[in-house]
Amino acid sequence: MERKASRRENECEEKYSNSESSELDKDYRTSLITLNVGGYLYITQKQTLTKYPDSFLEGIINGRIMCPFDADGHYFIDRDGLLFRHILNFLRNGELLLPEGFRENQLLAQEAEFFQLKVLSEAVKSRWEKEQLAARETTFLEITDSHDRSQGLRIFCNAPEFIAKIKSRIVLVSKSRLDGFPEEFSISSNIIQFKYFIKSENGTRLVLKEDNTFVCTLETLKFEAIMMALKCGFRLLTSLDCSKGSIVHSDALHFIK
């Protein structure tokens, strides 16, 4: 009798355990939501979509807002499926994290407004305004002689990323030709100063090492900058020192897109 009673108790405990496990699995499955956004499927948790009360997604999940279903029974939202990736990442992370070079701020701001995510909308607009301000500000790069800063080349552009690209190129070329890098020249945010930056007999300024090892001419740097600018869609606005009579002989270049 005791064995039968013990067996029944074990069976009851096992059934209860299986039942409890089944309920947990059921709760977990029902917490997963699949959204069809413009033909792109996204699977996420219910708590992610309901993170911001009174948002469009929270309204759908909690039944405040009616939403159609696709043929597979998933919520269908007729919006930009690719941009929804950033909406979902914002809900997951609680902050705006966009890939480098992202250029669809205006579209993302519209999506944020549609989904009634005020915090995201403000974050996108703030980022957009900062980019617009940066684009209007002229950035420069100065390539000069550490002994005579009046000699050299100055490059101006309203795109900081382009200035950074030119700077990287010049540093790469110089590093490959200067065995004593970085002693032969110093680098700051906007200035590259060569330690030995001397003038030849015919008036062409050369970048050399102390042992007279040839690196390049300023004219080479100018043509390199101009070709890079044209390939990137910039145009040469003007030579900032027209008194020289030629771009090749000018001390500064100004690019704009």
pLDDT band at 210 (very low <50, low <70, confident <90, very high): low
pLDDT at 138: 60
In single-letter form, the type of residue at position 2 comes to E
pLDDT score recorded for residue 26 = 47
Residue 215: count of CB within 10 angstroms of its CB:
20
Return the pLDDT at 150.
66
Chain centroid to CA 71: 36
pLDDT surpasses 90 at 71: yes
b/e burial code for range 235-249 (CB count within 10 A of at least 16 → b): eeeebeeeeeeebee
Residue 173 CB burial class (10 angstroms; 0-12, 13-18, ≥19): middle
Say whether the peptide bond before residue 68 is cis (omega within 30 degrees of 0): no
What per-residue confidence (pLDDT) applies to 224? 81
Could you tell me which residue, 232 or 101, shows the higher pLDDT? Answer: 232
Q: Specify whether the CB–CB gap between 121 and 109 falls below 8 A.
A: yes
| pLDDT exceeds 90 at position 128 | no
Q: State the amino acid at position 19 in one-letter form.
A: S
Burial of 255 (0-12, 13-18, 19+ CB in 10 A): buried
Task: Scan for tokens 């013990």, then name that residue.
Answer: 6
Residue 89: partners with Cβ closer than 8 Å, 6 or more residues away: 97
Angle, CA 175 vertex, CA 174 and CA 181 arms, to 5°? 115
Give me the helix-helix angle, 84-93 and 105-114, nearest 10°.
Answer: 70
Report how far apart, in Å, the C-alpha atoms of 255 and of each of 105, 137, 221, 237 are. 24, 12, 15, 5
56-68 pLDDT, tens per residue? 999 999 999 999 9
Query: Which range is least confidently modeled, 153-157, 183-187, 211-215?
Result: 211-215
pLDDT mean across residues, the chain: 78
pLDDT band at 140 (very low <50, low <70, confident <90, very high): confident
On the question of pLDDT at 209 being above 50, the answer is yes
- Please give the pLDDT value at position 220: 78
More confident of the two residues 9 and 207:
207
Does pLDDT of 82 surpass 90?
Answer: yes
The pLDDT assigned to 135 comes to: 61
Confidence tier at 212 by pLDDT (50, 70, 90): low
Closest by Cα among 190, 179, 119 to 149: 190
- What is the reported pTM? 0.50
